[in-house]
Structure 1
Amino acid sequence: MDASPLVWTLTVAGICALLVFDYVFHVRKAHVPSLREAAVWSAIYVGIAVLFGVGGLVLAGPDWGSEYFAGYITEKALSVDNLFVFLIIMTSFRVPREDQQKVLLFGITFSLVARTGFIFLGSALINSFAWVFYFFGLVLLLTAGNMLKPESSDSRSGENVMVRLARRIFHTSPDYDGDKLFTVHDGKRALTPMLLVMVAIAGTDLLFALDSIPAIFGLTQDVYIVFTATAFSLLGLRQLYFLIDGLLDRLIYLSYGLSAILAFIGVKLVLHALHENNVPFINGGEPVPVVEISTGLSLTVIVGVLLITVLVSLLSPAGRAQTAIANARRHATDYLDLGYTADRAERDRVYEALRHEEEIVRSLGPKYLRVARQQPDLVDLLRRAHAERDESVGRAAQEEAGSAPDQEATRRRPGAE
């Protein structure tokens, strides 16, 4: 189905309206969304994407529908993987919890703009040069291989090239000033960490697009499907982040599943390139008679691999242990960092979450308890968090004990009621 200019206009207007709605009603006032809020809005955005796909399937036929859903599911899975990196970046910059929504929504908006540009560029290249399928296939195969490599310490830092360059050229503030992008530091106008974290996420988004766009072009060359599947996979990502925040570290086999999917799509692209071949040094520039992978088979493989990956990750004791250890580390760091939050209720919540994760590690048995104790930095972090908690409770008790006589004296003063 070739989308008419009117359909394009209505689609873009609808997507822009959803983004504006998010900016106006969800992130204008900084807050931490509740689990219920995140779940409801995640379901709404997924429902919109599914209804759009069903409508396309009814109006344009099963081929259109299968291509859309294959693209949407693949892009959604890649987006969830991107959330790991967003989490790392925001942890690296110590973004206050209540301001993380705004950072995420900026990242989603920038990603949508950047990917739209890559989509039209990719479409123009495909229409002009058949060899681009070979290039996209090679990119996906290399990406699949890189996903299997262990992460280096540099890959877990938000300090990418753009951020380092910004720090070197511009005057920056070491502390946040609410959600402001600029502030005054040492008497001079300065960039805040809020602006720097947005720069970090923007730079990371550009790299994500280089993997994402070839993947969906491997499933469909319909630009309208590519755009809508990509856009709907990004919408609702902010709510999904808060919904599965505690589960992100538990999906320990997700990278393997995504690697398998990207490799599969890479092979599909190479086979398609051979089928449409006009490169002179391959088969004399003539098409190569090879079997092509259908969209229906692609959709089946993608859904099957993701289901197996997620189920194995969630049911694995190793996954539960890794999640609990990672969450304990994060909660202990948050509790010790008054810059993260000085609100007593939030600090109590973080500490209780820390205790809960410690109990999970203990419940998994001596094997995983040893894994945690073999990390000296984690042990020291937990020790300091518990010591700070004890001191905080002691200070609170002293304040309450000191306030009682004062209140009694106030009542006894002449004229006091």
Structure 2
Amino acid sequence: MNLASFGSLLGAESGGGGNFVVLDVEPWHWTVLVGLIAALLLLDLLVFHREAHEITTKEAALESTVWISIGVSFSLVVLWWFGGAATGEYFSGYLIEKSLSVDNVFVWALLMSYFKVPPKYQHRVLFWGIFGALVMRAIFIFAGVALIERFDWILYVFGAFLLFTAARMIFGDKEHADPANSRFLKVINRVVPSTDKLDGPHLFTKENGKRLATPLFAVLLLVEATDVIFAVDSVPAVLAVSREQFIVFASNAFAILGLRALYFLLADMHARFHYLQQGLAIILAFVGVKMIIAEWYHIPTFLSLVIIAIVLGISITLSIRKGKGEP
């Protein structure tokens, strides 16, 4: 299959006309999707990571490959159920969410370093962080689609916000905030009785008969808080390529599921991705413009997918070349 025919496949109509696909999603579709996600989470927690251990780079690379393969493979299910156009929207949403989530990984690394969380306990914290992120994304997605369906002008607000975020990524402070200065952390310490001592992988422990939160609990809450902040950017971005709640949630979910493996693979490589921030900013700016002009011109899903992939590929390639000292 050549590029043109592949583009035609992704552009094929599915369940309705218009700029975006309109799907006839049945309850059993949701049951299969949520059941699959739950099964994958349980398999990861109770089988592959039943015992706390330090994740090696080799293990992280293998797991990351598996998670990406699962996310890509689900596109075949989307193709089977809903057709080519829905598959194109799924791929675009998956790629946007996956690329924007990389910055989230580096924030997690900052939190783990600040709280001195032993490597063998990090996966358990991130597991519950991912679980919470899936719930929050579902809320954001359903709310976002409902707002768009009720208020057309909200598209301009989302688009302008994405352009603002892109400008801030390029011209703003490149360093992530210091957790020590987090007002959210100060509120946690004030409201929740805490200890600065770890008790294995447990979020709570007992000292002198009192139930206290361990540092892992604060890390978990901060991981959830940072995901909410990132979701404010990523969910509107994905809504620029699809308005179907099923497609948007599925693409978000499968991109997020692989974040833990990606964290253990990339956590120490932040300094090597010199141009990733600029690449993500360009992607956000493109998506923001796409959202603003949607009333007058709809950029085809396949073209959006190609542009996002090219920008991401160029930013990574330039980062690798700079890291090797090449001009």
- TM-score interval, normalised by the smaller of the two chains: 0.7 to 0.9
- For 2:138 and 2:81, the matched residues in 1 are separated by 24
- Rate the CA distance shift 1:46–1:158 in 2: closer, same or farther, 3 A: farther
**1:94 Cα deviation (Å)?**
0.9
Alignment RMSD: 1.9
Aligned with residue 308 of structure 1, among 300, 305, 314: 314
User: Partner amino acid for 1:297?
Assistant: L
**Contact 2:106–2:267, Cα closer than 8 Å, also in 1:** no
Determine helix, strand or coil for the equivalent of 1:137: helix
- For 1:158 and 1:210, the matched residues in 2 are separated by 23
User: Partner amino acid for 1:25?
Assistant: V
Alignment of 1:89-128 (within 5 A): 89-128=111-150
**TM-score under structure 2 length normalisation:** 0.87
Cα deviation code 1:94-139 (max 9, x no counterpart): 1111111112112111111101001111111111111111111111
**Contact 2:185–2:222, Cα closer than 8 Å, also in 1:** yes
**1:174 Cα deviation (Å)?**
1.6
- For 2:175 and 2:190, the matched residues in 1 are separated by 22
> Which residue of structure 2 aligns with residue 327 of structure 1?
none
- For 1:141 and 1:152, the matched residues in 2 are separated by 17
Aligned with residue 104 of structure 2, among 69, 78, 82: 82
**Contact 1:111–1:205, Cα closer than 8 Å, also in 2:** yes
Determine helix, strand or coil for the equivalent of 1:90: helix
- For 1:261 and 1:158, the matched residues in 2 are separated by 31
2:3 is the alignment partner of 1:3:
no
> Which residue of structure 1 aligns with residue 238 of structure 2?
216
Cα deviation code 1:302-327 (max 9, x no counterpart): 0000000001011103xx6xxxxxxx
**Contact 1:144–1:263, Cα closer than 8 Å, also in 2:** yes
> Which residue of structure 1 aligns with residue 251 of structure 2?
229
- For 1:300 and 1:72, the matched residues in 2 are separated by 13
**1:152 Cα deviation (Å)?**
7.1
- For 2:75 and 2:106, the matched residues in 1 are separated by 27
Cα deviation code 1:220-267 (max 9, x no counterpart): 111111010000001121112112334333112111101000010000
2:183 is the alignment partner of 1:177:
no
- For 1:149 and 1:98, the matched residues in 2 are separated by 37
Aligned pair count? 303
> Which residue of structure 1 aligns with residue 85 of structure 2?
63
> Which residue of structure 1 aligns with residue 66 of structure 2?
44
- For 1:78 and 1:175, the matched residues in 2 are separated by 33
Determine helix, strand or coil for the equivalent of 1:176: coil
**TM-score under structure 1 length normalisation:** 0.69
Structure 1: runs of 5+ lacking an equivalent: 276-289, 321-363, 365-417
Structure 2: runs of 5+ lacking an equivalent: 1-22
**1:88 Cα deviation (Å)?**
0.8
- For 1:128 and 1:254, the matched residues in 2 are separated by 35
Cα deviation code 1:32-55 (max 9, x no counterpart): 122332222221211111111133
**Contact 1:38–1:239, Cα closer than 8 Å, also in 2:** yes
Q: Percent identity?
A: 40
